[in-house]
Amino acid sequence: RTASRHLLVTGGAGFIGANFVRHVLRTTEDRVTVLDKLTYAGDLSSLAGLDEHRMNLVVGDVCDQDLVHSLVARADAVVHFAAESHNDNSLADPAPFVQTNLVGTFTLLEAVRRHDVRFHHVSTDEVYGDLELEDLARFTEATPYNPSSPYSASKAGADHLVRAWSRSFGVAATLSNCSNNYGPYQHVEKFVPRQITNVLDGRRPKLYGDGRNVRDWIHVEDHCAAVLRVLDRGTIGRTYLIGADGEHDNITVMRAILELMGQDPAAFDHVPDRAGHDRRYAIDAGAVRSELGWSPTHVDLRAGLADTIEWYREHQDWWRSKKAVTEDRYAETGR
Ligand code: NAD
Ligand code: DAU
């Protein structure tokens, strides 16, 4: 690993990207340039307070070829988080998902190919589709792709582009596919922060369908540490699955949030299910643990949720302006 690198982090003003930039500045000597379009999901204030000598933000689009080429040419490595990331939005309007997730990844790949720059692509376990509740199997690097939603299909397509550019053009790329993240700076459209901010706002939390859908929860700091580990020590051309053995069904997580916030654990509304709703995700993160020596530090979901609740309680300035518009959008779909 080079002592000090210049990283280009796309989507660094989003949830995981901002946590990653903070992690890099805290644990390495690296400098970071963030490229972020500041869509509804990006927030300048998620990067507030960071050392300006080591981090700068370029507001722009990963589909902007000229801009991407000029930034990639000056970087030692690219870590690509930028994406449209929310399944419900992809059902309402898939167009930006195809544009950003596919065309944006293509644009970056062409730039790293031309300038011979190391590339890490951040992806999701949703590319594998879903598992049955009764089935004890977990996703591995060998699981066939079978995405369900426009979001996961666009991420699956992007993953295929990265693999093709690696194999056919020799681009020095790695990929990681992670399970559901939670923690600070997550947009209030997502399950955990939506329910926390609903309670803080005096609204009733909303559970889709029967709530038995299982997600494999990982704290965002553990995901960020794993991505940095893959960037530093991963084998070029490989895919790493990242997860923390955190499987819980939604109704259990919902009740835990309500209890931790001093509410009746039954004080939530059942709302219509998401179309095509994946039933269960589960990650086998054996390779990243045994080969790269990574392991999660936040292993107790209740403790992680309690910290996250505290963060949202203390950072109402960060989320309040996003809340009303998000709930108005949900109201249009009866959720
Ligand atoms: P997010 O929606 O919170 O952030 C996305 C960021 O990308 C925002 O800052 C947004 O402004 C930026 N962006 C969007 N379109 C852009 C464009 N065209 N050009 C430049 N910037 C653009 O997303 P997140 O939850 O932080 O997810 C980050 C990445 O991690 C995504 O690639 C996602 O697929 C992947 N991922 C997320 C999770 C999860 O649980 N959230 C799990 C696994 C993988
Ligand atoms: O698995 C990784 C993926 O996790 C990432 O690739 C995505 O970017 C990220 O958004 C997340 O996708 P999900 O669709 O699993 O996350 P979401 O927070 O939207 O929903 C989590 C579960 O909770 C899902 O089963 C739907 C349900 N849900 C969601 C919301 C917003 C509810 O029951 N009520 C809600 O209000």
In the predicted structure, residue 5 carries a pLDDT above the cut 80: yes
Return the exposure string of 58-80: e unless at least 16 CB atoms fall within 10 Å of the residue's CB, then b. eebbbbeeebbbebbeebebbbb
* Torsion region of 183: left, alpha or beta (phi above 0 gives left; psi -120 to 50 gives alpha): left
> Does the CB atom of residue 36 touch ligand 1 within 6 A?
yes
The catalytic residue positions are 125-126, 151
Q: pLDDT tens for residues 175-204?
A: 999 999 999 999 999 999 999 999 999 999
> Does the CB atom of residue 155 touch ligand 1 within 6 A?
yes
Which CATH fold topology does 6-186+218-245+280-302 show?
Rossmann fold (3.40.50)
Pocket test for ligand 2, best of 190, 301, 329, 333 (most atoms within 8 A of CB): 190
DSSP-derived secondary structure for 28-81: ---EEEEEE---TT--GGGGTT--TTTEEEEE--TT-HHHHHHHHHT-SEEEE-
**Cα dihedral 204, 319, 101, 330 sign:** positive
Percent of the chain with pLDDT over 90: 98
> Does the CB atom of residue 206 touch ligand 2 within 6 A?
yes
The domain ranges of the chain are: 6-186+218-245+280-302
Q: pLDDT tens for residues 265-321?
A: 999 999 999 999 999 999 999 999 999 999 999 999 999 999 999 999 999 999 999
pTM: 0.98
> Does the CB atom of residue 34 touch ligand 1 within 6 A?
no
Residue whose Cα lies nearest atom 4 of ligand 1: it is: 14
What distance in angstroms lies between residue 85's CA and the mean position of ligand 1's atoms?
5
- 3 — pLDDT class (breaks 50, 70, 90): confident
What distance in angstroms lies between residue 62's CA and the mean position of ligand 2's atoms?
24
- 135 — pLDDT class (breaks 50, 70, 90): confident
In the predicted structure, residue 1 carries a pLDDT above the cut 80: no
Mention every residue, 6+ apart, whose C-beta is less than 8 A from residue 91: 149, 150, 274, 275, 276
What distance in angstroms lies between residue 111's CA and the mean position of ligand 2's atoms?
32
> Does the CB atom of residue 148 touch ligand 2 within 6 A?
no
